[in-house]
Amino acid sequence: MADLPSTDHRSAGLPPIADEPAALPVQSSEQVYEGRVWDLRRDVVELGEGTIVREYVDHPGAVAVLALDDDDRVFLICQYRHPIRARDWEIPAGLLDVPGEEPLAAAQRELAEEGDLAASDWAVLTDFFSSPGSSDEAIRIYLARGLTPTDEPFAREEEEAHMETRWLDLDACVDAVLERRVQNPTLVIGVLAAQVARARGWAGLAAADAAWPGRSTPREEPAPR
């Protein structure tokens, strides 16, 4: 069997891998469907000698919160998600659908609304695109520590009215991911990133207000009537 090429870019003198923004010319762009939460857009894009047509979900983006207590337990929620016909385990998360609201403020609001919790210590755990081939949704996961209960419980509605909550050790969360018992992407990415970050002494995490170049286009203020 032939030797495989080396994948150690450091020894090869190559730069670290990083996503590269690519603003290809867009010949046309139209909203083909306006939804209750997100829309469907069709773009004609110049690529090489020709063009391609791509339809994708035009998404406002979202934030999620991995809340970790002093005993290294993660705050989890379980609620019904209709597209997958399942009640899945998640970490608190929500859309960036409030015009003018900063991502950190949205994360703090979601933690209060879904967990009746506040935190004194915030950092960016990781950023990711949920489905780059079909959606422009960008999600930022925050690490929240120094947790305290809020003064009053939040009144929950619809799916959240039947939400189950649980505190689970971070290592047990990782086991659940690796054993494929949980599959929510923010939970999967969040707990794996948190385990690695903890092993590194939480060094290298970005500040809670760090720039977010890949963020979805923010919602605009509604036009005055």
Rounded CA-CA distance 185/10 in Å is: 30
101, 159, 160, 179: the catalytic one is 159
- In which region does residue 224 sit, left (phi positive, over 0), alpha (psi from -120 to 50) or beta (all else)? beta
CA dihedral 160, 95, 85, 173 (to 10 degrees): -80
Residue 101 falls in the annotated catalytic set: no
Q: Closest Cα to residue 124, out of 63, 195, 168, 172?
A: 63
Q: Whole-angstrom Cα distance, residue 204 to residue 224?
A: 43
Q: Which residues are catalytic?
A: 159
